[in-house]
C-alpha cells in the first residue's frame, strides 16, 4: 500500500460502484463518498518514503500471490477498506481467483481453497495482526516454520508487519477506497 487517493469521483471499473448517472433510475443512490481525514503521505513525506522502502525490503523474496493473500487477510481483520480495495484489485490483476479472495474471510471453513503453506501464512497473519493474547501461539509459529525457511519466514513476518502498519495509517486517516488502479503502488 503506497498510494493515497485524491478526492475525485469514484472510479467506474468493475470493482467500483457506478456513479449516480450510471445507476438505474429506480435504484437509490449510493452513499456519498467521505473525505479523508489527513493526507498523511503529503504531511509526513519522510515517514511515507521510509514506509515504502521498508515495504519493498519486507516483501523481497515473498511469493507475490501469497503476499496478496496475506495483505487481504490482514486488511479484513483491521477493517481497512482502502487496503482491501487495493490488494483485491492487485490480486485479481495478477490472476488470483475471485473464489480464493472471497473465501479468505472464512478460510478456516474453506481450507480446501489453499495450500498448506498458504494456510500456515494466513494463520500466522491472523496471529500477528490480532495480538489479543499478547503473543503468537507456538503452534501457529511452528506450523509456519515447517513451510518456510528461516530467512523466508522473517520476510513473511516483515510483510505481515508492514501491511498492519499501512492499515493503521489508512484506517486512522480514513483513506477512501475505490480510486486505486491495479499495480498503482509498485
58-101 confidence digits (pLDDT tens): 999 999 999 999 999 999 999 999 999 999 999 999 999 999 99
According to the model, what pLDDT value does residue 143 have?
A: 98
Residue 28 has pLDDT above 90, yes or no: no
Q: What is the Cα–Cα distance from 87 to 100, expressed in whole angstroms? A: 13
Q: Is the pLDDT of residue 125 over 50?
A: yes
* pTM: predicted TM-score of the whole model, two decimal places: 0.83
Model confidence at 5: pLDDT above 80: no
Q: Terminus-to-terminus CA distance in the chain, angstroms? A: 9
23-41: b or e for each residue (b if 16 or more CB lie within 10 Å)?
eeeeeeeeeebeebeeebb
**Is residue 6 scored above 60 in pLDDT?**
no
Please give the backbone phi and psi of residue 121, each rounded to the nearest 5 degrees, phi first: -70, -40
What span, in angstroms and rounded, lies between the C-alpha atoms of 20 and 17?
A: 9
Average pLDDT, the chain: 88
Residue 89, φ and ψ in degrees, nearest 5:
-65, -45
Amino acid at each position: 500500500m503506497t498510494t493515497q487517493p485524491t478526492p475525485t469521483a469514484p472510479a467506474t471499473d468493475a470493482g467500483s460502484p457506478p456513479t449516480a448517472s450510471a445507476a438505474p433510475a429506480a435504484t437509490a443512490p449510493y452513499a456519498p463518498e467521505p473525505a479523508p481525514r489527513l493526507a498523511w503521505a503529503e504531511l509526513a513525506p519522510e515517514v511515507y518514503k521510509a514506509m515504502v522502502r521498508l515495504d519493498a525490503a519486507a516483501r523481497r523474496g515473498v511469493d507475490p500471490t501469497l503476499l496478496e493473500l496475506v495483505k487481504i487477510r490482514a486488511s479484513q481483520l483491521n477493517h481497512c477498506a482502502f487496503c482491501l480495495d487495493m490488494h483485491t484489485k492487485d490480486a485479481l490483476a495478477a490472476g488470483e481467483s475471485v473464489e480464493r479472495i472471497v473465501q479468505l474471510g472464512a478460510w478456516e471453513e474453506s481450507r480446501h481453497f489453499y495450500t498448506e503453506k498458504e494456510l500456515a501464512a494466513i494463520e500466522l497473519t491472523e496471529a500477528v495482526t490480532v495480538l489479543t493474547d499478547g503473543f503468537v501461539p507456538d503452534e501457529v509459529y511452528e506450523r509456519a516454520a515447517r513451510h518456510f525457511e528461516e530467512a523466508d519466514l522473517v520476510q513473511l513476518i516483515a510483510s505481515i508487519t508492514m501491511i498492519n502498519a499501512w492499515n493503521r495509517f489508512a484506517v486512522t486517516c480514513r483513506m477512501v477506497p475505490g480510486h486505486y488502479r491495479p499495480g498503482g503502488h509498485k
